[in-house]
Amino acid sequence: MPRIDLRDPRYYFNRELSWLKFNERVLEEAKDERNPLLERLKFLAIFSTNLDEFIMIRYAGLKEQVAAGIGRRTADGMTPDEQLQAISDHLHPVILEHQRVLCLDILPALESRGIALVPLTELSATDKLAIEQYFHQEVFPVLTPLAVDSSHPFPRLPNLSFSLLLEVFDPERSETKLAVIQVPSVLPRFFRLPGKSYRFVTLEDIIKTEVGALFPGHEVKRLHGFRITRNADIEIAEDEADDLLQVIEDEVRRRRWGDAVRLEVSAEMPKLWLQYLRNTLGLTADDVYAVPKHLSVGDFMELASLGVPELRDEPFVTRLPTEYRNESSVFDAVQKQDVFIHHPFHDFDAVLNMLEEAADDPDVLAIKQTLYRVGRHSPVVAALAKAAGNGKLVTALVELKARFDEENNIVWARELERAGVHVVYGVPGLKTHCKSLLIVRREGNEIRRYVHLGTGNYNPGTSTQYTDMALLSCDPDLTADSSELFNYLTGFSKQKSWRKLWVAPDTLRTKLVEAIDRETKQAKAGDEAHIIAKMNSLVDPEVIRALYRASRAGTKIDLVVRGICCLRPGVEGVSENIHVRSVVGRFLEHSRAFYFRHGGEENLYLGSADWMQRNLNGRIETIFPLEEPRLKKKVMQVFDLLLRDNEKARVLRSDGTYCHPKRKPGQNRLNAQDKLLEISARRLALSP
């Protein structure tokens, strides 16, 4: 076998550009006419909010590196400056395509189905009266016109603020002035006009029609929209923080006022105005995006959520796992056998029932749980508070550094503390990303522990939108490991060895590379070798090199990577045995699952960690085994469907492009998520 330098940049894709490719796959779902219209609009909104976060964090981080003179190259060989330019070159045409799909495809199609954004020129007298009343009753009181002149500098508008820049003429002084009005995010973006039909006017159009009321004695000559995106990354010196909760709360407030990193403007805005905004915000031409029609498309989720069944995905019915659907107690069911949970096909009650039963069970002594993203209205938090009120010893690890969920988590942390829950914030310098629930119960003369280990957050809202997997078990080794994990999280434990768990940052990386290398040895020995791995992102260079070594030895490697993939498949002599696909569909593929053939042992693991440096080095993560053959069979069925999906899957080619799998003559379409819904419905119908 010829010697090859596996660190060569040509064997790696750039992380940022790979993410942009993922968001393009989201845009493809908006273009797919097989999807219902409101679902297509939803994907346009998701594309927009995804991009906002990318700009606020990743793009902003690169700009910081350039400003600091950092020229360190990534694994693919690009400097921060080169990455910024590549991102800009890629994004500008994609944004125009996003607008084209919205304005020329989806909105006209929605109008033909009775859902219309009505232009100002087509308003009836009744419409105009309704708008005028709404403006003066609801909008006018919250608007604040901001003059821009020598005594009023350009206002420091908050992050993601959508605003209007106006030219106002004063006839008495015969002079023109500038002013800014922030379109209030506290009001709905779309106002429904009178009548039974779904006819809407945008909030900015309402302001445009009535804007004169804000400037008595003046004439508004023209106005154009713009939107500012700011650096929203939070840096926290935890070792210097006396009160981490207060420090993060302060940093979240400051996030709204970081340096500007992107400016979106109405395409009709005069060049002189655009240059003024650029200079004021300190931005380059590449940071500016001229948008033909609608700014802040993420707000269109309001319309995408309309209750019009014929324009939405068909509803589905979730079910409880077969293993405990007919048991009087969740604990009785788990004593008999481990229970596999697969959201959204299994209801979130599969988790919540266990927690609520524990809160009321007089035999339960203690509950310990990690909370990363729990949502705004959390029955999980309510159950923990109830358990504490019932005298249980309840400990909650609330991760305050969960990006963009910090405010929610601060609220929950304080509410739990008021309820008597012992709240801790994790290990300094590390995010706690593992998903673990431990229940300690007295049963006769002995103490038994139960554990829920999962790939997703304890969030009932996302459990219907994300695919995630979990295990309920009272296995002595898993529960003992989980107890020691919580000791590690809440105390001074320096636990380094574990019975069954792989735990980052201590053992997970080593165990993962060892598992890949073991498959490499099997292949070199002439044995069948196979790896299947499903995750959100694959970035870590060390893991990628291990996969390349396995491929070169002859290991068959099938990867289902929804988002970022820095591994380049199909390269002769390096990765021709590696096949990568991404599945983007109705549900966000969020579960992480890993299979290693290991000479027929068929080892299978689930967990919270993607194969990224941040997960393996900078977070508390857990990977746990599925050992019962009947449970392995369920996950292998999911793998099989995802690897055969020819409708929502895209295959990554060695040049970095993605394409839909080619169907063989006579081969039927297969949508893995739809098939899993069908299987779930069939099992529900057959259950007693």
Q: Strand, helix or coil at 121? A: helix
**Taking residues 258-271, what's their average pLDDT?**
94
Where does 509-636 show beta strands of DSSP type E?
A: 530-535, 556-561, 578-583, 588-589, 592-596, 603-607, 619-626
Whether the pLDDT of residue 252 is over 80: the answer is: no
**pLDDT tens column, 485-500:** 999 998 877 788 899 9
pLDDT of residue 158: 92
State which amino acid sits at residue 306. L
pLDDT of residue 256: 66
Structure-block tokens of residue 336: 């008999």
DSSP assignment letter at 656: S
Q: Strand, helix or coil at 562? A: coil
**By the 8 A CB rule, do 222 and 168 touch?**
no
Whether a cis peptide bond, with omega within 30° of 0, leads into 344 is yes
Give the lowest-confidence range in 15-19, 248-252, 370-374, 479-483: 248-252
The kind and range of the H/E element at 554 are: none
Phi, psi at 578, each rounded to 5°: -105, 130
pLDDT of residue 245: 59
Average pLDDT of the chain to the nearest whole number = 93
State which amino acid sits at residue 287. D
From 294, 346, 433, 452, the catalytic residue = 433
**Taking residues 316-325, what's their average pLDDT?**
87
pLDDT of residue 248: 62
Whether the pLDDT of residue 608 is over 90: the answer is: yes
Alpha carbon 543 to chain centroid, angstroms: 23
Whether the pLDDT of residue 255 is over 70: the answer is: no
**By the 8 A CB rule, do 538 and 611 touch?**
yes
433 is catalytic: yes
**pLDDT tens column, 462-475:** 999 999 999 999 99
DSSP assignment letter at 498: -
Cα dist from 678 to 354, 632, 635, 682, 684, whole Å: 26, 20, 16, 6, 10
CA proximity to 549, closest of 514, 584, 583:
514
CA proximity to 603, closest of 546, 556, 533, 676:
533
pLDDT of residue 363: 97
Separation CA 519–CA 535 (nearest Å) = 19
Helices (H) and strands (E) in the chain, counts: 20, 27
pLDDT of residue 250: 62
Separation CA 404–CA 81 (nearest Å) = 27
**Taking residues 347-356, what's their average pLDDT?**
95
CA proximity to 164, closest of 204, 132, 221:
204
CA proximity to 7, closest of 471, 478, 546:
546
**By the 8 A CB rule, do 76 and 13 touch?**
yes
**By the 8 A CB rule, do 518 and 530 touch?**
no
Confidence of residue 411 (pLDDT cuts 50, 70, 90): confident
pLDDT of residue 241: 45
Q: Strand, helix or coil at 438? A: strand
CA proximity to 115, closest of 304, 250, 289, 357:
304
CA proximity to 403, closest of 154, 516, 235, 562:
235
Which residues are 594's β-sheet partners? 533, 605
Whether the pLDDT of residue 613 is over 50: the answer is: yes
Whether the pLDDT of residue 138 is over 80: the answer is: yes
State which amino acid sits at residue 122. E
**pLDDT tens column, 35-90:** 999 999 999 999 999 999 999 999 999 999 999 899 999 999 999 999 999 999 99
What domains can you pick out in the chain, each with its CATH number? 9-311 (3.30.1840.10), 322-498 (3.30.870.10), 503-686 (3.30.870.10)
**pLDDT tens column, 90-103:** 999 999 999 999 99
pLDDT of residue 239: 46
**Taking residues 194-206, what's their average pLDDT?**
94
pLDDT of residue 1: 73
Separation CA 35–CA 332 (nearest Å) = 42
Confidence of residue 240 (pLDDT cuts 50, 70, 90): very low
Sign of CA dihedral 319, 321, 325, 328: negative
Whether the pLDDT of residue 16 is over 50: the answer is: yes
Confidence of residue 247 (pLDDT cuts 50, 70, 90): low
Whether the pLDDT of residue 380 is over 80: the answer is: yes
CA proximity to 131, closest of 191, 218, 64, 211:
191
**By the 8 A CB rule, do 394 and 424 touch?**
no
**Taking residues 545-558, what's their average pLDDT?**
98
**Taking residues 412-433, what's their average pLDDT?**
88
pLDDT of residue 333: 94
The neighbour count for residue 1, using CB atoms within 10 Å, is 7
**By the 8 A CB rule, do 672 and 657 touch?**
no
pLDDT of residue 173: 86
Q: Strand, helix or coil at 594? A: strand
**pLDDT tens column, 501-548:** 999 999 999 999 999 999 999 999 999 999 999 999 999 999 999 999
pLDDT of residue 376: 78
Whether a cis peptide bond, with omega within 30° of 0, leads into 505 is yes
The neighbour count for residue 526, using CB atoms within 10 Å, is 8
**By the 8 A CB rule, do 209 and 201 touch?**
no
**Taking residues 434-443, what's their average pLDDT?**
97
Ramachandran region, residue 287 (left: φ > 0; alpha: ψ -120 to 50; beta: rest): alpha
**By the 8 A CB rule, do 178 and 163 touch?**
no
**pLDDT tens column, 619-629:** 999 999 999 99
Sign of CA dihedral 374, 375, 381, 383: negative
User: 29 or 687: whose pLDDT is higher?
Assistant: 29
Which residues are 220's β-sheet partners? 168
Whether the pLDDT of residue 457 is over 80: the answer is: yes
Separation CA 130–CA 122 (nearest Å) = 14
The pairing of strands 592-596 and 603-607 is: antiparallel
**By the 8 A CB rule, do 556 and 588 touch?**
no
**pLDDT tens column, 153-169:** 899 899 999 999 999 99
Whether a cis peptide bond, with omega within 30° of 0, leads into 661 is no
**Taking residues 352-365, what's their average pLDDT?**
97
Give the lowest-confidence range in 173-182, 245-254, 449-458: 245-254
